[in-house]
Amino acid sequence: MNNELTGIERQLVLQYLMDGNVPVTVTEILPVPSEEEKGKVKSIAGVFPVAVRHDQMEVLDQGIILLKNPAETVKSFDGKNVKVQFYFNKLGLYFETQMKSVRSGDLALVIPAVIKKVEERVKKSSDSFNAVIYWEGQGSNDIKCGFLDDYPTFVTPKWSDVPEEDQVTAKRYLENAVMHSKTVGKSIGNGLFLLSVCRFLAQKNESEESSIQDRKNPPDIIYIDSERIVFAGRSRNNIFTESGEYALILGFPIAGGPIKERTVYITVCADSIITDDNNTKYCAVCDYKSIKEEDQRFLEDKKV
């Protein structure tokens, strides 16, 4: 299947929408600022996608989706350019169009001549090291962790890393985390890792689009030092349970010489799992329960 669906392929998708119980999500397409405006506007607030159930819409064979008795959240898109996403046999598809009101009071979306595939997103790897986590349970119990560009490893986080528009929310998460640790009597050390935690939870991400429906994504590492490591991701992909133990293998490439990689073996315990207000994102703060002294010194020396 091509990245752009037209003609017969588009007609097959249209028939699928008419025949199946297919929900869609609608997101406003925000205008891109001009070069002059870019210097004046710090950021553009995104609009979170709104889900529309299959029983709230009717798909006509003319290629029009009617949204019947739309909710107020959907009405807010009236007259705006929107992105409509759905899954066709578990394959992520989307199209862009304008939402318009019709005489009946319903809203209409005209499906354009071209429907596009959601692009595959490759998990970022790190040049400095790789990480695989293992746990007990049924099925596949090991997974290679990912990394995020905005959260460099072994770099001390700073409050200035938190975008200005997220600082109020991040400060609230930070205060709640500190208060909770005091209440339950848990030590947070210097607490620097909480800056990465609260920044991640407060960040106003757009919807996590997946090219394949129900795909499970591995956790990302957003903080690591010689005492703990913090994993983060979407709550629906969370593999961690509080107080659960996990085996972690870190591999650090070595340039030149007969040994290609230094391997560090660690047993970690999920000391706490912190979620955002909507329970859509999580951070698993894992303390090291078992690690060799020389490996701990090695990790300490990696800090920038």
Q: Domain segments of the chain: what residues?
A: 4-117, 130-302
- 189 vs 180: CA distance, rounded Å: 14
- 111 vs 61: CA distance, rounded Å: 10
- 192 vs 213: CA distance, rounded Å: 36
Question: What distances in angstroms separate CA 300 from CA 193, 225, 293, 296, one per listed residue?
Answer: 15, 6, 11, 6
If the chain, 304 residues long, is cut into consecutive pieces of 10 residues, what is the mean pLDDT of each piece? 83 89 86 51 51 88 90 89 89 92 89 87 67 80 90 92 92 93 84 95 68 70 95 91 94 86 96 92 96 96 85
* SS3 label, residue 22: coil
> What pLDDT does 42 receive?
39
| Strand boundaries in 20-171, DSSP class E | 24-28, 50-52, 57-60, 64-67, 81-88, 91-101, 107-110, 115-117, 130-134, 142-144, 146-147
- 232 vs 236: CA distance, rounded Å: 12
Dihedral angle of Cα 277, 222, 44, 210, to the nearest 10 degrees: -80
> What pLDDT does 136 receive?
81
Place of tokens 């528009």: 165
CB 284, CB 240: distance < 8 Å: yes
CATH class given for the domain over 4-117: mainly beta
The one-character DSSP state at 20 is S
Amino acid at 224: I
> What pLDDT does 158 receive?
93
- 245 vs 69: CA distance, rounded Å: 49
Helices (H) and strands (E) in the chain, counts: 6, 17
Reading phi first (left if > 0) and then psi (alpha if -120 to 50, else beta), residue 241 is in beta
Query: Per the structure block, which two tokens stand in for 297?
Result: 């010194």
> What per-residue string of b and e applies to 33-65 under the rule 16 or more CB within 10 Å gives b?
eeeeeeeeeeeeeebebbebeeebbebeeebeb
In this prediction the pTM is: 0.66
By residue count, the chain amounts to 304
> What pLDDT does 120 receive?
65
CB 129, CB 251: distance < 8 Å: yes
